[in-house]
Amino acid sequence: MPASSPRAHCATRLRRRTSQTQAIILGLFGVNSFGCVSSLPQPTAAQAASAQERFPGTTVEALADARTTYAQICAGCHTLYLPDHLSAERWPATIHRMQTKHRVALTESQHQQVLMYVLSVRSPRQSI
């Protein structure tokens, strides 16, 4: 990924498909939980090890690839939500909603990567 891309993602603005109301809502709630690519946590070995319980065979490299997928696919309409934005329980349904309600096209493996990334790098025990 070129060095300039985090800035490009930060500059991403809400696009046409998001209504003004949604933009305001996103603005209000997003202040502390939006991130640019550069603020997305990099996976650690410890996180990869504990991720193996739910995602067998997970490596740090696989989590880093998953982070890239997340950054590439999920920054199109809003800036990136940090993994701590939602509880572990709410992430799966939210990703599903992006697919069904907002027509985000994800292959099965991209879906798995996004889910694996956000669930694996969340702060322990944090939930909303």
Q: Rule CB under 6 A: which residues touch ligand HEC?
A: 17-18, 22, 73-74, 76-78, 81, 85-86, 94-95, 97-98, 101-102, 104, 106, 114
Minimum gap (Å) between residue 73 Cβ and ligand HEC = 5
Angle at CA 32, nearest 5°, toward 28 and 37? 115
CB-wise, 15 or 54, nearer to ligand HEC?
15
CB-wise, 25 or 45, nearer to ligand HEC?
25
Minimum gap (Å) between residue 22 Cβ and ligand HEC = 5
Minimum gap (Å) between residue 63 Cβ and ligand HEC = 15
Alpha-carbon separation of residue 74 from 46, 52, 70, 120, 124 (angstroms): 25, 24, 6, 17, 23
Fill in the amino acid letter for 63.
L
CB-wise, 59 or 84, nearer to ligand HEC?
84
Q: Which residues pair with 35 in a beta bridge?
A: 80
Task: Region of 125 please: left (phi>0), alpha (psi -120 to 50) or beta.
Answer: left
The closest of 5, 33, 27, 4 to 14, measured between CA atoms, is 27
Minimum gap (Å) between residue 128 Cβ and ligand HEC = 8
